[in-house]
Amino acid sequence: MTETTTDAPNAARAQSSGALSHRRREFRRAVQSMVASRWALLGMLILVVVTLVAIFGPWLSPFDPNRQNLIMRLLPPGSPGPGDQTYWLGSDQLGRDVLSRLLYGARVSLLVGFAAIAVGGTLGVIAGLVSGYFGGWVDDVFMRLGDIQLAFPFILLAIMFLVVLGPGLVNMILVLGIGQWVTYARIVRAQTLALREKEYVEAARATGDRTPSILFRTILPNIMAPLTVIASFNVASVILAEAALSFLGLGVPPDVPTWGSMLSESRDHLLSNKWWMAVFPGLAIVFTVLAFNIIGDWLRDFLDPRLKENH
């Protein structure tokens, strides 16, 4: 009896340290794989830089991104500004510093990208788990809803709702997020269908686990790999969509600088060759989206090496 009581904590400790060392091994394997694939390393590097810029933007910005200075308007990169300051990436049509607006713009792009995926992912995972686990009419309803949504070119759906709801960060996140749920729901449903008959799910049912616990604690952790891959590509496409909507004037309010709205403003100054207004925000979008795409590619190969054959 005494033996059992002392052994139980030991066993639990051993199990948790086993899980920890497994996680460490996996992490080491991931780092090694990333270093081996130079592209993935480059992608991660870009992502770290963009994230740091998004977090520390206000401290890094040489100017207030909304401060107008009409005397200093449309200056090319490297022009001296007031005092000993420099417009490193030039100034725009209202004399605002392009670099400062670019640094602040990273916040909106990343925030919208991640938040929309969180909204769409959560909705999609719930719908997919419920559809796949219960089947029947619930499944039919969710899947037909998905079909209907996919019948709309996504950007049009977003335009239609944002025109009525009005521009704004929360509206943008909700619309872009809701636009993504189908992707997750379909994958989760397919995986759940395959897993629901597995022994360990049967075992969870037999031991009296409640349905939410089976769905979220038994099935969900086992389907995280494909979800992570999809999420990475998805962040890239959401950032592109956000830029396009901001470009159309449907993004966040004008006092919040975004890369898409900077590009929209640059259009009026193309003929007068104010190239810096268009080149820098565009490059920022390209590098950020590229980073997510590269990471998505690497994650897919890393999490499912069988797929590597054809990529």
List contacts with another protein (CB under 8 A). 144-145, 147-157, 159-161, 163-166, 236, 240, 243-244, 247-250, 263, 266-267, 270-271, 273, 275, 278-279, 282, 285-287, 289-290, 293-294, 297, 309-311
* 64 vs 140, beta carbon nearer another protein: 140
* 218 vs 266, beta carbon nearer another protein: 266
Q: Match 């025109």 to its residue by tokens.
A: 163
Q: Tell me how many degrees the CA angle 147-150-154 measures, rounded to the nearest 5.
A: 160
- Tell me the closest approach of the beta carbon of residue 232 to another protein, in angstroms: 13
- Tell me the closest approach of the beta carbon of residue 78 to another protein, in angstroms: 19
Rounded to whole angstroms, how far apart are CA atoms 124 and 129? Answer: 8
* 10 vs 310, beta carbon nearer another protein: 310
* 119 vs 263, beta carbon nearer another protein: 263
* 152 vs 216, beta carbon nearer another protein: 152
- Tell me the closest approach of the beta carbon of residue 36 to another protein, in angstroms: 16
- Tell me the closest approach of the beta carbon of residue 225 to another protein, in angstroms: 19
- Tell me the closest approach of the beta carbon of residue 69 to another protein, in angstroms: 25
* 215 vs 241, beta carbon nearer another protein: 241
- Tell me the closest approach of the beta carbon of residue 162 to another protein, in angstroms: 9
Reading the block at residue 270, the tokens are 């193309």
Rounded to whole angstroms, how far apart are CA atoms 239 and 35? Answer: 26
- Tell me the closest approach of the beta carbon of residue 157 to another protein, in angstroms: 7
* 172 vs 263, beta carbon nearer another protein: 263
